[in-house]
Amino acid sequence: MYPENNLYNIYIKNYFSLTSPQKFPDITKQFTLDSMSRAINCCEQWGSFLDIGAGSGHYSLPLLFKFKKGTAVEPVNNER
């Protein structure tokens, strides 16, 4: 079995206190990070990841604690 990873706990430990003045964590963020944790627990290797539609990279940050390197891509459409 692969080591258990919980990205939400990493997020709370490293970023929540720095980025959010709220007393309660964002439930949507918790659901997303829990889903990501289940997915990465199936990874056999921890070389690199690609975050497409990364925005500010908020979800990429916890992944950097698990993977050796990562790439965040945010397509920009200036014609809106």
Q: What pLDDT digit, counting tens, does each position of 3-56 carry?
A: 567 777 777 777 655 555 555 567 777 888 888 888 888 888 889 999 998 888
Q: Which domain holds residue 54?
A: 7-73
Of residues 67 and 7, which shows the higher confidence score?
67
Whether 1 is in a domain gets the answer no
Q: Which structure tokens are listed for 37?
A: 């944790």
Whether 17 is in a domain gets the answer yes
Whether 78 is in a domain gets the answer no
What mean pLDDT is predicted for residues 56-76?
A: 87
Whether 64 is in a domain gets the answer yes
Whether 36 is in a domain gets the answer yes
> Residue 1: what pLDDT?
44
| Residue 63 predicted with pLDDT over 60 | yes
Whether 79 is in a domain gets the answer no
Q: For residue 49, what is the enclosing H or E element?
A: strand 48-52
Whether 57 is in a domain gets the answer yes
pTM equals: 0.58
Spatial separation of the C-alpha atoms in residues 36 and 14, rounded to whole Å? 17
DSSP 29-48: HHHHHHHHHHHHTT-S--SE
Number of domains in the chain: 1
